[in-house]
């Protein structure tokens, strides 16, 4: 311990006050621990994303985590204040043709295994439910428990719960070594556990963690009388979301409680350029207009970008660093961090306190990509 070291700053110090850090703070403080959250105020994926709470089923681990997480959000949602803008609008996964109807059927079968309720909506019923959609769609799968919320306000609210056991401090962490960290203003902080929940910011602290940014564009319209009622996503979305390279766009539109439409989505790899790229934005909007022909009549008021932080296998890193006792990671949630914040925080808390995990933690273990062993050929299987 250096001469500058202080006594423990808190039971757990969390780096990052986005939705993941805030939910971990909320979860750990609910068990009586004192939590210090340090954030550098630059903002990350929490402020840039859509805030879609959605069960994703591309693999069993993602389905288990997202389904468990949605169930936790459902127990929390009644307590969220209006500023969090939670709505249980459900998701409509849109099928454009027979092939996508098959995808919907397979999706429904996977979801039911995990207790996620869904219903097939016929083409004619879909036209009644969402008259703004183009009329020739083949139908949609409605997933009932999905919803939306405003993640920055929700993170703020979470950090103010638990009877003052959570303290938030502005600061820039420049180094992490096991259970201690260094702040740019000088001085080390130690704690029994340090948790990194700072998304892309973890790059600087742990350069050997293979996190890859995936840039996304979003655009929001002016307020109008409600014209869509569910989060609308094309069934081809998963193909775009999991493409490994190149630029892709997929239709994904969310009705905001204000009457605005939040329009996505795009994916680009290996750029950290925050600027809106009009060719990508244009492709994204053409895709959106293909599904919502009336979109061109609406006035857009803002466009922006953000970065999803992805691991090589698309699943987050949740657990203790294999070579640095006392250092914990909740990183790499890609585009699903708002959804999975609740389940990820529950798993981190269980592991930290030696409780039984709420679901199989193996697919999320940090040893996959972190630490000496992960760099040995064949070790990261």
Partner 1 sequence: MITVYLDGQPLVMGEGLTVAAMLTLSESSIARLSCTGQPRAPFCGMGICQECRVTIDGRRQLACQTLCQEGMHVERTV
State the residues that interact with partner 1 by CB under 8 A.
Answer: 222-224, 258, 297-299, 301-302
Burial of 70 (0-12, 13-18, 19+ CB in 10 A): buried
**Choice between 105 and 222, CB closer to partner 1:** 222
* Shortest CB 320 distance to partner 1, Å: 43
* Shortest CB 296 distance to partner 1, Å: 11
- What is the spatial order of strands in the sheet that 248-255 belongs to? 118-122, 139-143, 91-95, 231-234, 248-255, 261-269, 212-221, 300-310
**Choice between 30 and 258, CB closer to partner 1:** 258
* Shortest CB 201 distance to partner 1, Å: 30
**Choice between 80 and 85, CB closer to partner 1:** 85
CB 364 within 8 A of CB 315: yes
* Shortest CB 218 distance to partner 1, Å: 16
DSSP string, 227-275: ---SEEEETTHHHHHT--SS-EEEEEEEE-TTS-EEEEEEEEES----S
**Choice between 138 and 300, CB closer to partner 1:** 300
Strands 327-331 and 193-196: parallel
Residue 317's H or E segment, with its range, is: strand 317-320
Cis peptide before 341 (omega within 30 of 0): no
Residue 44: name the closest of 173, 198, 162 by CA: 198
Per the listing, tokens 């006050």 go with 17
What backbone phi and psi angles, to 5 degrees, belong to 110?
Answer: -65, -40
Residue 289: name the closest of 248, 225, 234, 229 by CA: 234
* Shortest CB 258 distance to partner 1, Å: 5
* Shortest CB 257 distance to partner 1, Å: 9
**Which tokens is 371 given?**
């630490």
**Which tokens is 112 given?**
């039911």
**Choice between 131 and 294, CB closer to partner 1:** 294
CB 53 within 8 A of CB 77: no
Q: What ranges in the chain are assigned the alpha helix state H?
A: 19-29, 45-48, 60-76, 98-113, 123-129, 151-159, 202-205, 237-241, 278-291, 337-352
Crossing angle of helices 60-76 and 98-113, rounded to 10°: 70
* Shortest CB 259 distance to partner 1, Å: 9
**Choice between 119 and 222, CB closer to partner 1:** 222
CA distance 246 to 268: 6
**Choice between 254 and 339, CB closer to partner 1:** 254
* Shortest CB 227 distance to partner 1, Å: 13
* Shortest CB 71 distance to partner 1, Å: 30
**Choice between 222 and 290, CB closer to partner 1:** 222
* Shortest CB 295 distance to partner 1, Å: 13
**Choice between 157 and 188, CB closer to partner 1:** 157
Q: How long is the chain? A: 381
**Choice between 132 and 183, CB closer to partner 1:** 132
């Amino acid at each position: 311990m250096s001469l500058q070291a202080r006594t423990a700053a808190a039971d757990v110090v969390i780096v990052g006050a986005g939705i993941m850090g805030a939910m971990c703070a909320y979860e750990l403080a609910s068990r009586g621990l004192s939590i210090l959250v340090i954030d550098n105020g630059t903002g990350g994926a929490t402020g840039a994303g859509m805030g879609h709470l959605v069960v994703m089923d591309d693999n069993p681990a993602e389905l288990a985590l997202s389904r468990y997480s949605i169930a936790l959000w459902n127990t929390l949602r009644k307590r969220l204040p209006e500023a969090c803008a939670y709505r249980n609008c459900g998701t409509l996964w849109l099928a454009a043709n027979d092939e996508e109807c098959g995808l919907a059927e397979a999706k429904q079968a996977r979801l039911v295994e995990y207790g996620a309720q869904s219903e097939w909506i016929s083409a004619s019923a879909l036209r009644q439910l969402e008259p703004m959609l183009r009329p020739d769609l083949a139908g949609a799968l409605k997933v009932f428990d999905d919803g939306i919320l405003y993640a920055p306000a929700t993170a703020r609210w979470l950090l103010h719960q638990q009877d003052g056991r959570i303290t938030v401090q502005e600061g820039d962490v420049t180094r992490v070594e096991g259970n201690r960290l260094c702040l740019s203003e000088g001085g080390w902080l130690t704690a029994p556990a340090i948790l990194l929940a700072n998304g892309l910011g973890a790059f600087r602290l742990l350069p050997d963690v293979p996190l890859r940014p995936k840039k996304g564009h979003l655009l929001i319209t002016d307020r109008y009388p409600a014209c869509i009622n569910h989060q609308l996503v094309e069934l081809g979305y998963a193909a775009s979301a999991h493409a490994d390279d190149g630029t892709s766009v997929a239709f994904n539109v969310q009705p905001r409680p204000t009457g605005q439409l939040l329009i996505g989505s795009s994916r680009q790899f290996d750029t950290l350029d925050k600027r809106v790229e009009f060719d990508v934005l244009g492709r994204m909007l053409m895709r959106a207009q293909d599904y919502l022909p009336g979109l061109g009549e609406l006035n857009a008021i803002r466009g922006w970008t953000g970065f999803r932080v992805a691991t090589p296998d698309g699943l987050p890193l949740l657990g203790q660093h294999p070579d640095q006792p006392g250092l914990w990671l909740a990183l790499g949630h890609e585009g699903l961090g708002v959804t999975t914040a609740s389940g990820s925080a529950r798993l981190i808390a269980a592991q930290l306190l030696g409780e039984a995990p709420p679901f199989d933690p193996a697919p999320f273990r940090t040893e996959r990509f972190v630490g000496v062993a992960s760099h040995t050929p064949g070790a990261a299987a």
